[in-house]
Structure 1
């Protein structure tokens, strides 16, 4: 089942994709369904709302008010090699704020204060449940589904201090969507899928999700040692080599560029780049 969040008749609306279009479910956000313990596959299959066509610019970030958004850095060895860091033996975790999120076809905004906006194509994991001290063997039972994420990073600000948080949280730099694909429709743990990022149609990142150093189950289990996870939390699982920062000379995004992140079996997330007004 594929869930989407979009504007319809002036309201934020949840729907599921069908062969005929998107079937309207109503205005209850996806995270509310997850917190109620709704089985997404069954709920979407039994939906009886109208089928509509979603306008190109009507998509919203998948979750209206996600719980925690936790990103994983340096989770592909090839990306670590192009960074100024040694490969860690523990997941590099940092937060992303809801205020940074945008939807499919919405613009990534290059901020006034820096010209170092960079792309990071990633697979996002949305949780349907959680807890503390989750065993790795049980971790995937807590996954509702998988989605696309472009973890836009303002590199100048990311590297101003040892903590990356500011550079990872500029407004309108985190693209999320358009579809949440339920876990039953993808390989266990989202493994074995081709992830690619294109800038202006050119492939700049290409990797198999099986190459993650810390897989989804490991990340969930490790994070839960410290943090109580819950329904509607999001884990952004890391980006491979090929970012603009790693090129020589460095190549950053500019107004007029178009970034597309795709993952086999999940779809494509497209965002144009604009300068902050």
Structure 2
């Protein structure tokens, strides 16, 4: 299934893709849907239909209880940043206020001149888990979506701790769909990922090369804290970020940045003045 949250005149709605229409599932958003123990059954329900064409996609889960991001998780990206392969995942948080819809504009903050792109496979949790074993971790994955972990590099590297460069308000497109594992080859999918800026390919890789795969990350993170329905894990970005180029290249107003993952969909966002 491909599931989404869309904005309508009556508020946001959780929907399922059915051909060229989106079927209303009776919930305000996917976070509400995933909170139901039998959400998979409920996601097959029939309801009002909205055309896909012209749909206004909200963040797939507008208000997750937590967003955990992983750094240094593609071998090529680690090497381009001049670092050694890590023994454990590098984790940092985001907040719901950072999220954008898949086609929303990205307003470049006036405070940064180093706005960078990062295409990421994002895991969406469908079942609460703590200290998950292999089976529990796999079962907890509702599906996958696309995230663009937009980063203010000048703020990120002010200190050895990255968070301040990663949590700018309304900076992180996520969506348009949450795609269930059965549609993409399971809970450890090997999917082509890429970023295109104004028609130029900047990043290209395959999620099969992740150092720490989605099941491992659910197990690892749930050891630390309970993962709840609707929570998001961003699994890291491959080589090709603007900060690692010579000379460095950053996003400017007027740019269009496209982040896409095969089988999941595309975030297409125009960069505008704040």
Bigger mean CA offset, 191-200 vs 244-253: 191-200
Gaps of 5+ in 2: none
Deviations 1:17-44, CA, capped at 9 Å, x for gaps: 111311222342211121121333x323
List aligned pairs for 1:2-41, cutoff 5 A.
Answer: 2-40=2-40
Asked if the contact 1:21–1:52 (Cα under 8 Å) also holds between the matched residues in 2, the reply is yes
Asked if the contact 1:140–1:217 (Cα under 8 Å) also holds between the matched residues in 2, the reply is yes
List aligned pairs for 1:125-136, cutoff 5 A.
Answer: 125-136=123-134
List aligned pairs for 1:49-68, cutoff 5 A.
Answer: 49-55=48-54, 58-68=56-66
Partner of 1:45: 44
Pick one of 59, 74, 84 that aligns with 1:76.
74
Does 2:113 align with 1:115?
yes
SS in 2 for 1:175: strand
Q: Distance in 1 between matches of 2:157 and 2:233?
A: 22
Asked if the contact 2:72–2:237 (Cα under 8 Å) also holds between the matched residues in 1, the reply is yes
Aligned residues: 274
Structure 2 vs 1, CA of residues 219 and 91 (structure 1 numbering), >3 Å: closer, same or farther?
A: same
User: What TM-score, normalized to structure 1?
Assistant: 0.94
Asked if the contact 2:72–2:236 (Cα under 8 Å) also holds between the matched residues in 1, the reply is yes
List aligned pairs for 1:138-217, cutoff 5 A.
Answer: 138-217=136-215
Asked if the contact 2:31–2:62 (Cα under 8 Å) also holds between the matched residues in 1, the reply is yes
Q: Distance in 1 between matches of 2:206 and 2:115?
A: 25
Q: Distance in 2 between matches of 1:14 and 1:185?
A: 19
TM-superposed CA distance for 1:190, in Å, is: 4.1
Deviations 1:55-99, CA, capped at 9 Å, x for gaps: 25x211111211110000000011111215332210000001111
TM-superposed CA distance for 1:47, in Å, is: 1.6
List aligned pairs for 1:189-268, cutoff 5 A.
Answer: 189-268=187-266
Asked if the contact 2:129–2:140 (Cα under 8 Å) also holds between the matched residues in 1, the reply is no
Structure 2 vs 1, CA of residues 26 and 138 (structure 1 numbering), >3 Å: closer, same or farther?
A: closer
Q: Distance in 2 between matches of 1:32 and 1:126?
A: 13
TM-superposed CA distance for 1:232, in Å, is: 1.3
CA RMSD of aligned residues (A): 1.5
Q: Distance in 2 between matches of 1:262 and 1:182?
A: 17
TM-superposed CA distance for 1:229, in Å, is: 1.4
User: What TM-score, normalized to structure 2?
Assistant: 0.95
Structure 2 vs 1, CA of residues 233 and 86 (structure 1 numbering), >3 Å: closer, same or farther?
A: same
Bigger mean CA offset, 24-33 vs 200-209: 24-33
Gaps of 5+ in 1: none
Bigger mean CA offset, 101-110 vs 143-152: 101-110
